[in-house]
Amino acid sequence: MISFITIMLWFNVYGHLGYELFPARVYAHPLGRWLNSGVYHNLHHERFNGNYSLYFTCWDRWMGTLRTDSADKVAEVQNRIRQHNAKPCSTPSSAAVADSSPT
């Protein structure tokens, strides 16, 4: 019972977190399309219609309430994550650090 409550609590927090935690490969898997994510549920909060389910998209699919732009939104967020991760980390040069020290 404790593990069930923990999993449900985790999904509830994740659904309302506003961040995408699952990598894109999760959605590419045949079972991944049935898994709800923060992006799917956040569309519900942004537009107030559709994407009512919190754990699995099957409920919205079966009831006809899955937003048609859900997959596009997930792809958009995943692309932004990929672009962000592809950027090289910039660290200040030693000269810049030396110049910023108090004299």
pTM for the structure as a whole: 0.57
Instruction: Give helix 2-15 / helix 38-47 axis angle, nearest 10°.
Output: 50
pLDDT tens for the chain, residues 1 to 103: 888 899 888 877 877 777 777 777 887 788 877 877 777 778 877 877 888 877 788 888 899 988 888 778 878 888 887 887 777 766 555 545 444 445 5
The pLDDT of residue 64 is: 92
Ordered DSSP codes for 42-69: HHHHHHSSS---SSBTHHHHHHT---TT
Region label for 50, one of left (φ > 0), alpha (ψ between -120 and 50) or beta (otherwise)? left
> Phi and psi for 35 in degrees, rounded to 5?
-85, 130
d(CA 58, CA 36): 9
Neighbouring residues of 89: CB distance < 8 A, sequence distance ≥ 6: none
